[in-house]
């Protein structure tokens, strides 16, 4: 049994006060939802304050990125152990916006993933093809390279601390969701890939989230697919009501 994960990526939105207000509104709306791992990822500056608010609730905290070194002369970076210190249990790594705008590569994703796991965090490792890749029939080869590169050298045991997020880049923030069948096809491919890179039991246990314009009205169909174990949600996570409705997909 894989416990579903619904994670909200707040991207570069919300002040500390607005972040605290959002989780304050969210907590009572999801308090009675059991059997779903609920994660929110505010900006770095809000993490510690949001941590105080979610403490003792069923809402977990993620950062949106990390660096791979523990400390040193790396101006502007944040180490996984500092995220842990700020109250995070999860960290998003390799989001397509970081790949597109900040030069994230499969190698840096791999280093960050290893460092996050070593610090005791769960890494939400993002992969996804561009529209041009899909149109060129290269979706599977792109995903394969990202998974192989991002998870290279990890022990099978470590995969317990990895969540994969499949986010077709053409579906992020565009209002265009992959169809249930399109998403399922890639999720099944990723699971098979994990069988070949690790083993069947690792692949059976790993959670694979779908991301890309997930909304309250499309989450049910996506979640009914056998290899879709949750959602990474951008826009719809910025309002407590819509995020709570997604978290409550099963109610």
By annotation, the residues acting in catalysis are 95, 167
Residue 120 near ligand PEP by CB under 6 A: no
Select the residue whose beta carbon is closest to ligand PEP and give its number: 234
Instruction: Map tokens 């972040």 to a residue.
Output: 19
Which residue of 54, 162, 164, 172 would you call a contact of ligand PEP, by CB under 6 A? 172
In 10 A of CB 38, how many CB atoms? 23
**Residue 106 C-beta-side C-alpha neighbours within 13 Å:** 14
104 forms part of the interface with ligand PEP (CB under 6 A): no
Which one, 30 or 202, has the nearer CB to ligand PEP? 30
What's the alpha-carbon Rg for the chain, to the nearest Å? 17
Binding mask 129-168 for ligand PEP (x = CB under 6 A): --------------------------------------x-
CB nearer to ligand PEP: give 90 or 203.
Answer: 90
Site string for ligand PEP, 220-249 (x = CB under 6 A): ------------xxxxx-------------
Q: From CA 40, how far away is CA 232, in angstroms rounded?
A: 10
To the nearest whole angstrom, how small is the minimum distance from the Cβ of residue 39 to ligand PEP? 12
According to the binding rule CB under 6 A, does residue 79 interact with ligand PEP? no
Q: Each residue of 162-191: b (16+ CB within 10 Å) or e? A: bbbbbbbbbbbeeeebbebebbbebbebbb
Least separation in angstroms between residue 29's CB and ligand PEP is 18
Of the pair 20, 232, the CB lying nearest ligand PEP is at 232
Complex with ligand PEP: residue 212 or 230, whichever CB lies closer? 212
> Distance (Å, rounded) from C-alpha 249 to C-alpha 244?
9
Burial class for 107, CB neighbours closer than 10 Å (0-12, 13-18, 19+): exposed
CB contact at 8 A, 214 and 246: yes
Q: Kindly list the residues in this chain that would bind ligand PEP in the complex (CB under 6 A).
A: 9, 11, 167, 172-173, 211-214, 232-236
């Amino acid at each position: 049994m894989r416990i579903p994960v619904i994670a909200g990526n707040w991207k570069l939105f919300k002040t500390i006060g607005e972040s605290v207000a959002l989780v304050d509104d969210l907590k009572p709306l999801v308090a009675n939802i059991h059997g779903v791992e609920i994660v929110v990822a505010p900006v770095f500056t809000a993490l510690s304050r949001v941590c105080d608010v979610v403490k003792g609730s069923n809402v977990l905290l993620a950062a949106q990125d990390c660096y791979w070194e523990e400390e040193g002369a790396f101006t502007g970076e944040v180490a996984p152990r500092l995220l842990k210190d700020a109250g995070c249990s999860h960290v998003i790594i390799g989001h397509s916006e970081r790949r597109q705008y900040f030069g994230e590569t499969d190698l840096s994703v791999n280093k960050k993933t290893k460092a996050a796991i070593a610090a005791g965090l769960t890494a939400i490792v993002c992969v996804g093809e561009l529209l041009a890749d899909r149109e060129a029939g290269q979706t599977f080869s792109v995903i394969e390279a990202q998974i192989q590169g991002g998870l290279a050298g990890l022990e099978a045991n470590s995969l317990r601390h990895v969540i994969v997020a499949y986010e077709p880049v053409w579906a992020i923030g565009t209002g265009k969701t992959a169809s249930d069948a399109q998403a399922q096809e890639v999720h099944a491919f990723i699971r098979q890939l994990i069988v070949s890179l690790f083993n069947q039991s690792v692949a059976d246990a790993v959670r694979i989230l779908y991301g890309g314009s997930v909304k309250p009205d499309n989450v049910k169909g996506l979640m009914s697919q056998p290899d879709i174990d949750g959602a990474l949600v951008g826009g719809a996570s910025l309002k407590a009501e819509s995020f709570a409705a997604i978290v409550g997909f099963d109610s």
